[in-house]
């Protein structure tokens, strides 16, 4: 038990505190916040806040969606989104407060659970439609006020969608540049940590995948596409150079700080704010020339990589000619993993379809939560089923971790807002300030740390709900509903389980196979350096790190599962050892074999041999960890290593 707690505490700490850089840009956040605040102010001026706040609900929900897409694809996303949400809100208000809402919401939840995880588009439309249906089935309206209320909700959604389309061009570029800046910040964090550890390795490559996916979805064309892809390639090259430099040269704090500062300057230039770009540009000019990094196998390649990053950022921010940086890794569309075609909607809804169990889990959970809300007969009783909607996910680990984050975020929001709003006696000005701050945090962090997003989104909805119908008991009831909703979500995972431990053995075998292929190819490349294929080693790298990224959430899920299913300690030890081997082999691939054509007997050759020996030691640790995992789980070892 003590061994499991060793890993479990770290997993919980990472869930609550390890916030990735937020992907949203401040200009985009400002646009969405202004729309929400404008409707709130209009309601205050018109003296009908309880009606116009409905437009805020629509604007808040559509504002949660952010995507860097070609214009036609953006329109094909926003139009069905608004139409689906309009139908859901209208029907929800018609049947609101009645027992008919139970089967209606359960049916909608089943459709969402079966289809939402097929694509980002299906997720955006599905979660928005289901969330608004749950909210307005709890709010309800007299029959003669349904059409006016629906009109305000639609106006809020349409306003947010139209402004998104009008500002599509610059926001798409800002979003892509922000993704690249966040990738550089992941590299900076790797430098600051001072070691290539498993979490740092996963973090930096996850952010690299985000950049590659963002650029593929954005659909840039022509010269602009070339500039962005070269910037993506430059970030891949600098990551490789940093890993090789840190593993082989083991630089000191001053050298790592210098490299991190240089990357930070380029990240600020990319961030979309003019003042930040100007300050970063002035800082880059005033700090040159810099002292060269201490000589070593990776120092020269690191300097080349840092220069490539600066040149690619110049091409994006100052529109100088592209630097001609070679396109490598995931930045090349032809090397991107090919996704399988999603099944049709009707096929996905059939019993036995891949996500039908998740749909059934969603339907029962939302229906049960809605039934409890009606039995309690609480005013605006949408919070309980809404909690289930946001918490239930296909995997046990994700559901539990989101429950922890949501309870922490909602508790903080309830405490803070209850103190502020009760102390201010429901001041409209205080509510407006709170709404602006909380919605800004929501939009900035919604696709980042879930605990922060839960706090801000819960606070935003609390302010709007309080403005719609002030009630001193609102805050306590919302927190109790969060706890009850979390219990229902976790209960559904027990009733219709989706244990991470069931997929762990398959993912372990995939990782082992990928590492074995990489070992074999590297052995051949080491024996005949002049004949080895850089492209083949790159394929090995992509396959191994993809297996590692797939295994990471599974390890967390197994650690959070009750009992000892999945053998969490051996699995966590295997993951840590495999992460170290991938880091070391990556350094060998791009720090020695690729750039280290050395003569026998030279110092560089001895360093290369020492590095190869170090990788062999790490590989031996992985072999022992794999053997221990198969022995503990009772599974037959796939192959002799």
Confidence of residue 23 (pLDDT cuts 50, 70, 90): confident
Contact present, 152 and 55 (Cβ < 8 Å):
yes
Residue with the two structure tokens 């002049």? 530
Confidence of residue 201 (pLDDT cuts 50, 70, 90): confident
Contact present, 332 and 244 (Cβ < 8 Å):
no
pLDDT at res. 342: 54
Q: Can you tell me the mean pLDDT for 229-246?
A: 88
Taking CA atoms, 456 is separated from 314, 384, 622, in Å, by 36, 18, 42
Counting residues of the chain whose pLDDT is more than 90, the rounded percentage is 34
pLDDT at res. 596: 46
Least confident range of 167-171, 259-263, 545-549:
545-549
Q: Can you tell me the mean pLDDT for 20-45?
A: 91
Least confident range of 43-47, 156-160, 169-173, 408-412:
408-412
pLDDT tens digit string along 523-559? 777 676 666 666 777 788 888 888 988 898 889 888 8
pLDDT tens digit string along 449-496? 778 888 999 899 889 888 887 777 777 788 888 889 889 988 998 888
What is the rounded CA–CA span in Å between residue 552 and residue 576? Answer: 10
Q: Can you tell me the mean pLDDT for 9-17?
A: 64
Taking CA atoms, 402 is separated from 333, 370, 388, 453, 454, in Å, by 33, 20, 11, 11, 9
Q: Taking the domains of the chain in order of start, what are their residue ranges? A: 2-166+355-495, 168-332, 500-633
pLDDT tens digit string along 210-226? 898 899 899 899 899 99
What is the rounded CA–CA span in Å between residue 449 and residue 462? Answer: 20
Q: Can you tell me the mean pLDDT for 292-298?
A: 55
Contact present, 113 and 358 (Cβ < 8 Å):
yes
What is the rounded CA–CA span in Å between residue 456 and residue 466? Answer: 15
From the CB of residue 562, how many other CB atoms can be counted at a distance below 10 Å? Answer: 8
**Contacts (Cβ under 8 Å, ≥6 apart) of 288:** none
**Contacts (Cβ under 8 Å, ≥6 apart) of 395:** 498, 500, 553, 557
From the CB of residue 386, how many other CB atoms can be counted at a distance below 10 Å? Answer: 26
Residue with the two structure tokens 């009733």? 495
pLDDT tens digit string along 65-99? 887 899 999 999 999 999 999 999 999 999 988 89
Confidence check: pLDDT of 337 > 50 = no
**Contacts (Cβ under 8 Å, ≥6 apart) of 186:** 20, 21, 203, 204, 206, 207, 208
Least confident range of 269-278, 360-369, 597-606, 622-631:
597-606
Q: What is the CA radius of gyration of the chain?
A: 26
Contact present, 205 and 196 (Cβ < 8 Å):
no
Confidence check: pLDDT of 401 > 90 = no
Residue with the two structure tokens 């909700």? 153
Confidence check: pLDDT of 160 > 80 = yes
pLDDT at res. 292: 47
Q: CATH: 1.10.3470, 1.20.120, 3.30.450, 3.30.720. Which one for 500-633?
A: 1.20.120
Confidence check: pLDDT of 280 > 70 = no
Q: Which two tokens stand for residue 489?
A: 């979500």
């Amino acid at each position: 038990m003590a061994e499991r707690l060793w890993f479990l505490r770290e997993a919980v700490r990472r869930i609550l505190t390890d916030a990735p850089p937020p992907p949203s840009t401040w200009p985009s956040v400002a646009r969405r916040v202004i729309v929400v605040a404008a409707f709130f102010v209009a309601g205050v001026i018109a003296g009908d806040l309880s009606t116009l706040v409905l437009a805020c609900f629509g604007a808040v929900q559509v504002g949660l969606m952010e995507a860097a897409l070609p214009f036609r694809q953006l329109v094909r996303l926003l139009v069905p989104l608004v139409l689906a949400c309009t139908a859901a809100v209208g029907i929800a208000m018609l049947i609101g407060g009645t027992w008919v809402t139970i089967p209606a919401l359960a049916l909608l939840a089943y459709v969402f659970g079966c289809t939402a995880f097929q694509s980002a588009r299906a997720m955006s439309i599905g979660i928005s439609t289901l969330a608004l249906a749950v909210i307005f089935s709890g709010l309800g309206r007299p029959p003669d006020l349904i059409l006016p209320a629906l009109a305000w909700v639609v106006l809020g959604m349409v306003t947010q969608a139209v402004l998104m389309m009008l500002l599509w061009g610059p926001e798409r570029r800002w979003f892509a540049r922000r993704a690249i800046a966040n990738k550089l910040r992941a590299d900076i964090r790797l430098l600051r940590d001072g070691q290539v550890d498993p979490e740092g390795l996963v973090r930096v490559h996850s952010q690299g995948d985000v950049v590659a996916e963002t650029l593929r979805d954005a659909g840039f064309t022509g010269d602009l596409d070339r500039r962005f892809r070269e910037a993506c390639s430059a970030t891949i090259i600098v990551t490789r150079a940093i890993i090789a430099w840190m593993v082989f040269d083991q630089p000191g704090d001053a050298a790592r700080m210098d490299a991190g500062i240089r990357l930070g300057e380029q990240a600020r230039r990319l961030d979309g704010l003019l003042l930040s770009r100007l300050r970063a540009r002035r800082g880059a000019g005033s700090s040159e020339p810099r002292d060269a990094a201490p000589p070593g196998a990776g120092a020269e390649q690191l300097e080349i990589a840092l220069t490539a990053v600066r040149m690619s950022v110049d091409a994006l921010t100052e529109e100088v000619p592209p630097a001609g940086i070679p396109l490598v890794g995931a930045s090349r569309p032809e090397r991107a993993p090919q996704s399988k075609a999603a099944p049709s909607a009707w096929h996905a809804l059939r019993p036995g379809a891949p996500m039908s169990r998740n749909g059934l889990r969603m339907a029962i959970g939302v229906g049960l939560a809605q039934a409890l809300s009606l039995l309690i007969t609480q005013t605006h009783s949408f919070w309980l089923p809404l909690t289930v909607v946001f918490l239930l996910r296909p995997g046990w680990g994700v559901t539990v971790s989101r429950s922890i984050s949501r309870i922490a975020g909602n508790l903080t929001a309830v405490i803070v807002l209850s103190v502020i709003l009760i102390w201010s006696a429901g001041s409209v000005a205080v509510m407006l300030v709170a709404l602006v701050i909380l919605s800004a945090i929501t939009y900035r962090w919604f696709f980042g740390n879930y605990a922060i997003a839960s706090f801000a989104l819960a606070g935003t909805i609390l302010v709007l709900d309080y403005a719609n119908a002030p009630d001193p008991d609102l805050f306590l009831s919302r927190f109790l509903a969060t706890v009850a909703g979390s219990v229902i979500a976790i209960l559904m995972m027990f009733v219709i389980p989706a244990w991470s431990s069931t997929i762990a053995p398959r993912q372990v075998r995939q990782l082992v196979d990928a590492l074995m292929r990489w070992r074999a190819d590297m052995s051949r490349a080491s024996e005949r350096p002049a004949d080895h294929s850089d492209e083949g080693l790159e394929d090995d790298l992509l396959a191994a790190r993809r297996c590692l990224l797939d295994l990471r959430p599974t390890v967390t899920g197994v650690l959070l599962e009750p009992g000892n299913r999945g053998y969490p300690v051996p699995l966590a030890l295997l993951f840590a050892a495999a992460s170290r081997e991938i880091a070391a082999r990556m350094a060998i691939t791009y720090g020695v074999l690729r750039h280290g054509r050395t003569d026998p007997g030279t110092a560089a050759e001895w360093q290369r041999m020492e590095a190869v020996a170090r990788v062999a030691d790490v590989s031996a640790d992985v072999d022992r960890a794999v053997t221990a995992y198969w022995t503990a789980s009772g599974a037959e070892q796939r192959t002799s290593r």
